[in-house]
Amino acid sequence: MNTRRYGNTGKSVSEIGFGAWQLGNRQDWEAMEDTAAISLVHEALDRGLNFFDTAPNYGQGRSEELLGTALAGRRSGAVINTKFGHRADGSIDYAADQIRGSVEQSLIRLQTDYVDSVILHNPPFNVLDGKYGHYDVMEKLKAEGKILAYGVSVDSVPEMLEVIQHTNIGVMEVMFNIFYQETAEAFKLAQDKGIAIIVKVPLDSGWLSGKYNSKSTFAGVRSRWSPEIIEKRAALLEQIKFITNKETTMTMAALRFILAYPEVTTVIPGVRNSTQLIENIAASDAVMPEEQVKRLQELWAKEIKGQELGW
């Protein structure tokens, strides 16, 4: 597994991370047994993956709890990123005076005395510049050793620029994938400030895993796509089949496209079983040919940018 520097924390992380939204999440996914979740985290560590992304609201707190149980005795080999803003009970509160309590509850669930980073979980735009004291609280937690770094999770270039230009954050989680390349415009600016970039939604909510087509139907969290959007997405998949071959699945290629950007620190696909884990990790075994990267960038610029595809 290749590693990349995690901002200014002094740590290195696996370039393929572990998106832990699924752990303990019985609302949006078919339930995963706790023992299976813990075993999956152990397997990830054994295979060289050390970066885990979670949040208080993932599985109503169960994601953090299961990670904590799985990492007991192996905490030093893991880098954990959690979030603030979405509570375990499903409510949302971005008030700065709630940060400390949220972080301390996360520490209890994770069975640790520190987390490597905490980020504001897609907060309102007017919170991003720090004028309400959010980063002041984070600085105090950092001084106390409860967190090593802090930052934000955002989805757009304007949000990225607001944070890059007005704050001293160390970590930024952004949406970026073959079908959503807008945020790459601000990657270099973030890197120049020493900000670690975590890429979320790398498989475009499953579309870039290669398992969906124009006939696919969706339930739960993914029922948001209209028939028109499903048709658009399926047509785009046909156009990018050139990135796959006998040795390279769509998932592997989609992750390699993201890792072709040196500014990216780690990418966090979701993981539900050993097969998915092995496939994700295999993306680190090779790099995407430059010609393919350029073709995908051109496809985005000419045919995808500006389309309404929903995330």
> Measured between alpha carbons, how far is residue 146 from residues 6, 109, 140, 207, 263 in Å?
17, 14, 9, 37, 27
> Measured between alpha carbons, how far is residue 39 from residues 1, 30, 79, 274, 296 in Å?
19, 17, 18, 9, 36
Q: From the CA atom positions of the chain, what is the Rg in Å?
A: 19
Token pair 């006939």 in the structure block, residue: 215
Q: Which of 134, 112, 109 is nearest to 121 (CA)?
A: 134
Contacts of 303 (CB under 8 A, 6+ apart): 236, 239
* Paired strand residues for 83: 119
Q: How many whole angstroms separate alpha carbon 308 and alpha carbon 305?
A: 9
Q: Helix (H, G, I), strand (E, B), or coil: what is residue 179?
A: coil
Q: How many whole angstroms separate alpha carbon 31 and alpha carbon 173?
A: 26
Say which of 6, 58, 94, 150 is annotated catalytic.
Answer: 58
Question: In the chain, at which residue ranges do the beta strands (DSSP E only) sit?
Answer: 3-5, 12-14, 18-19, 51-53, 79-84, 115-121, 147-154, 171-175, 196-200, 266-267
Q: Which helix (H) or strand (E) holds 166?
A: helix 157-166
Q: How many whole angstroms separate alpha carbon 231 and alpha carbon 215?
A: 9
Active site residue 132: no
> Measured between alpha carbons, how far is residue 67 from residues 21, 64, 90, 157 in Å?
11, 5, 19, 31
Q: Catalytic residue numbers?
A: 58
